[in-house]
Structures are given as C-alpha cells and as structure tokens.
Amino acid sequence: MSLVNLANTCAHLQNCTMAKLPLAKIPYTRLHLQIAVELYKEGFIGSIQRGSISGPDLTPVDVTHDNISTRRIWLGLKYNQNSNPVLKNLHLISKPSRKVYCTIDELKNFAIGKRLRFIKPPQPGEVIFVRTKKNEILNLHEAIKKNLDAELLCRVS
Amino acid sequence: MGKGALKFGGKSGILPVPRQIFKKPYKHQVYQKEQDTGYAEGILHPKGITRDFVPPKVFTPESRLLKSAAQPKKQFSPEEFSKLPTAQQYRIKNAELRRAYLKESYDAEVKRLERVEYAKQKSEEEKAQMKLEADNHDKSKAELYTIPTIESYLSGPLIKPRTPEQKEALQLKKEANRLQQELDVKTNKAIKLLELYNASAAFAITESKLELMVDAAFSESKLIDANNITNSSVEKLHRLPSTSEFDSALKDAIVGNVNKGPGFDVVNDTLNGYNGELHSLAEQLKIEKREKAKLETSLKEANMRKLHEEMMNERKAASVQDN
C-alpha cells in the first residue's frame, strides 16, 4: 500500500495507533510534513522527526536527490494513561473522486455546526484540516480567521 | 393550473413580487468600460449591436413626475374653485392628492435605494477591512514560540538543490553511462556478426557442398564414433580418446576463435595493432635468441678449437719426450 496517497497514510496512522506502536513512519513529502505539523500543533502526536526507512536520524542528514527515496518522517504517537490512543480517527473528507471546495461563508456556517452538503458538522474534540489555494494546510478556524476559501481535506479526532 | 390562490399551491395571502419603481437609473453614474471587453480594432461586430458601450438613459424622479404627473395647465384660484361643480372639485382634489402621493412614493423609493446603496458600500468596506485584517493576521506569541523547528522546512525547498558542480558531475556520469551502454550494444552486435561470418564458412551454399556435408555427416567413421559413445558406460566415457573435433574446439577456446574463425577479441586486437606489436616483439625476441644461439655456438666452437689445439700440443710434446 503506497503511503504517498493521503488516504492510505490516514489508514496507516489509525492502524499504528490501534496496534499501540510508539512510532510511525510516513513518506517525506510536503503534504505529509504539513499534515504532521498540524497534527503536532493540535496535540494528536508527540513528536516529529526526520529519518530514513531504518529509523529516525541520530545526526541531521541533508535531504538530497540521491537519498530522497529513503527519507521518511517519523511520528511519535500518543497514548493516554489507559493506553488508549489520542489519535483515533483520521479520515479524508475530500477524495480524489469527490473534491469538496468551500467558500469562506460555507466554511463559517460549517464551523458553527451546520451541515455542509453531505458532510456532518464538526463534532466536539474533532479537528478539521483544510487546504487553501496556496496549498497551505490549516485548521478550519485558522482558515476562517484568514478569510480564505479552502478545500476540506480531512477530519481528526 | 387555475387562477388566483391555486396558482400558489392553494395558499392565499401571498403577496406578489414587488416591482421595481425605477426600472432605469434614477441618478447619473460614472460608467467605466471594463478592461479587455468589447470588440478590438479591426474586428467587425454583429448587426444590431453597438460597438461601444451605451449607458442607459437616466430618468430622475423629477423628470418622471413632469412626464406622468405634471401640474395642471390651469390653476384655479380659491374663488374660481368654489364656483366649480362638486364632481369637478372632487376630481381636481383627487388628481392633486395622487400627484402628492406619487411624489412621496418616489421620494421614499429614492431614500430606500440610497439606503441600500449605503448598506452595500458599507458591507464592501467591511469585507475589505476583514480581508486586510486577514492578510495582516500574524501568529500569536504562543504559536510563534512553540511551533517546532520542523515547520521551517516547509518555507524552503524540501530537497537540497544540487550545486552547479554536482549537476555537471551528474551530467558527465549520465553521458558516460550512455556511451558505455552504446558501446556494449555495438560490441555485442559486432561479436554476433563475427560469429555469423565465421559460421557462414560451414554453410552449404552450393548443391555439391551440401552433398559432401550430408555424406560426411552419415559417414562410417561418424557412425562408429556415435556407437562408441552410446555403448560405453559413464566410467569408460572419460577414457575414450579425444576426437579431432574436441581438440579443435579446445584449441579455439584457448586461442579465442569462434566458429573456427578469429573471435571478436582477436580481430579487435589486430585492428588496434596490439597483435602486430606482439608479433614484432616475438620476431625481435626470435632474432635475439637466434643471435644469442649463434654467438654461443661460435664461442663453443672457439673453445673446442682451443681444447683441440691444446690436446694436439700435449700429444706433440708427449711424442717428443718419448722420442
């Protein structure tokens, strides 16, 4: 299963947390790094490290065209005291076959708890990530603060 | 579909859609032609269409009133008015009221439109203000000081770009690989061509040669060889005397021949001049060896002659003593 697709990465992270793994590796791409940073900011993961397929780097290694194929991002997964995973659900909203683009007004209505087309409103404790036209990954509320139209990318809880 | 309420799904009490009082602009506006619109110079436009934008005619409320509710031509004084019949008085009063109400409604509509315009302008200003604030939105201090270093990787290119030297080296490497591959392909082609060329010496290209080859293949000696191999056991097989074919194949393998002809390496060495050098070196060594042998022979002969003379002298001396 190629983890280059975000949907597969989402499923992979869920599988890793269900298997109670301490670390999970995902491909080293801009999109994956953006998602990882957002997950870290929201507190769903404990750490982000650069590394290779064999493990996180002990000393910093430059990413070059020659070693890019072996580069990976290593995420530290979080569990609470009862060893339940902090990151339980990570699902795509916008799929390659059904993209969901929203205007700022639609985003505002969605953020206050209204149903948007076929998408259920955000639940308590759930975070929605959106992608702007500049290919930035933001939290739904950040996008509203910045007054940007966006594509609803995935929801995490 | 029926009339009346049935038109609205059997529901009564639905007000009709309000009509616009001013269908045309009620005040002058500055129209600006949008960029990249209309017809370019030299491009014809369809019939019945103006080439340039014609702004709609402006009907101010005053001009409307003049047109549809103008003041009566004759103004009655109060004395004249009191003398008029009651029906006419009523009509005049009614017309006056209608004019007044129409003017009021026009004024009210103008006020409404101005209010709408003001609201629209205000909302646009608010939107622009929000956009400005959004553009100038900065991260809070908490966000700024707690974000991980790894986010800084997103600001630049993810992969370290190659330096001009690295690019040049890579280019050279690619070029060398390409040339090596081309050379390998050409070499393999040449080897196969040479094999085919050598093998063609054994091809039956005439009828007589074909007959000869068929006879040779089914000759008595061949059959005996085949029988020997099939009838002998595995232990005895290695003790059989080697055939001339085996010997020649062994020789070919050692010398580097293919299909009883010179192989690619041999031809290549010859064309490169390596074999020529080797040959001249061998010739030179041969001459040197011959010279050396000649010298040794002459030395040996001189020694022998010397010994012979010594012996002869000794014999002579001995015979003199005996006498």
Is A84 contained in some domain?
no
* Same domain membership, residue A13 and residue A63: yes
Q: Which of B134, B150, B151 sits opposite A146 (nearest CB)?
A: B134
- pLDDT value for B131: 86
Quote the domain boundaries for residue A141.
93-156
Is A87 contained in some domain?
no
10-residue averages of pLDDT along chain B (323 residues): 75 82 87 83 89 86 91 90 94 95 94 96 94 81 68 85 94 97 94 89 88 86 76 69 72 77 81 86 94 94 94 90 80
* Same domain membership, residue A12 and residue A69: yes
Q: What residue of B is the nearest CA neighbor of A67?
A: B159
Question: In whole angstroms, how far apart are CA B64 and each of A90, A148, B67, B72, B152?
Answer: 65, 46, 5, 15, 67
* Residue at a domain's end among A50, A77, A104: A77
* Same domain membership, residue A73 and residue A9: yes
Give me the CATH number covering residue A10. 3.30.1370.30
- pLDDT value for B299: 94
Is A34 contained in some domain?
yes
B→A contacts (Cβ < 8 Å), by residue, are 130-131, 133-134, 137, 143, 147-148, 150-151, 153-154, 158-160, 162
* Same domain membership, residue A53 and residue A20: yes
Is A82 contained in some domain?
no
Residues of A within 8 A of B162 (CB-CB) are 64-65
* Residue at a domain's end among A31, A53, A77: A77
* Residue at a domain's end among A42, A77, A112: A77
- pLDDT value for B138: 77
Is A130 contained in some domain?
yes
Q: What domain count does chain A have?
A: 2
Say yes or no for a CB contact (<8 Å) between A145 and B137.
yes
Q: Which of A48, A145, A148 sits opposite B150 (nearest CB)?
A: A48
Residues of B within 8 A of A57 (CB-CB) are none
Give me the CATH number covering residue A117. 3.30.1490
Q: Does A134 touch chain B (CB under 8 A)?
A: no
Average pLDDT, chain A: 92
Is A83 contained in some domain?
no
* Same domain membership, residue A7 and residue A61: yes
* Same domain membership, residue A7 and residue A71: yes
Shortest Cα–Cα distance, A57 to chain B (Å): 13
* Same domain membership, residue A97 and residue A72: no
Is A88 contained in some domain?
no
* Same domain membership, residue A70 and residue A122: no
* Same domain membership, residue A73 and residue A100: no
Say yes or no for a CB contact (<8 Å) between A145 and B130.
no
* Same domain membership, residue A98 and residue A73: no
* Three-state SS annotation for chain B: CCCHHHHHCCCCCCCCCCCCCCCCCCCCCCCCCCCCCCCCCCCCCCCCCCCCCCCCCCCCHHHHHHHHCCCCCCCCCHHHHHHCCHHHHHHHHHHHHHHHHHHHHHHHHHHHHHHHHHHHHHHHHHHHHHHHHHHCCCCCHHHHHHCCHHHHHHCCCCCCCCCHHHHHHHHHHHHHHHHHHHHHHHHHHHHHHHHHHHHHHHCCCCHHHHHHHHHHHCCHHHHHHHHHHHHCCHHHHCCCCCCHHHHHHHHHHHHCEECCEECHHHHHHHHHCHHHHHHHHHHHHHHHHHHHHHHHHHHHHHHHHHHHHHHHHHHHHHHHHHC
- pLDDT value for B243: 66
pLDDT in tens, A122-147: 999 999 999 999 999 999 999 998 88
Q: Which of A41, A50, A62 sits opposite B160 (nearest CB)?
A: A62
pLDDT in tens, A48-93: 999 999 999 988 888 999 899 999 999 999 999 888 999 999 999 9
Provide the greatest CA pair distance for chain B.
Answer: 216
Shortest Cα–Cα distance, B176 to chain A (Å): 18
Average pLDDT over residues A21-48: 93
* Same domain membership, residue A101 and residue A68: no
* Same domain membership, residue A73 and residue A15: yes
Q: Which of A36, A64, A147 sits opposite B134 (nearest CB)?
A: A147
Shortest Cα–Cα distance, A75 to chain B (Å): 12
Q: Does A137 touch chain B (CB under 8 A)?
A: no
Shortest Cα–Cα distance, A46 to chain B (Å): 11
Which of B133, B147, B153, B173 to mutate to test binding with chain A, by most A CBs within 10 Å of its CB?
A: B153
Say yes or no for a CB contact (<8 Å) between A148 and B134.
yes
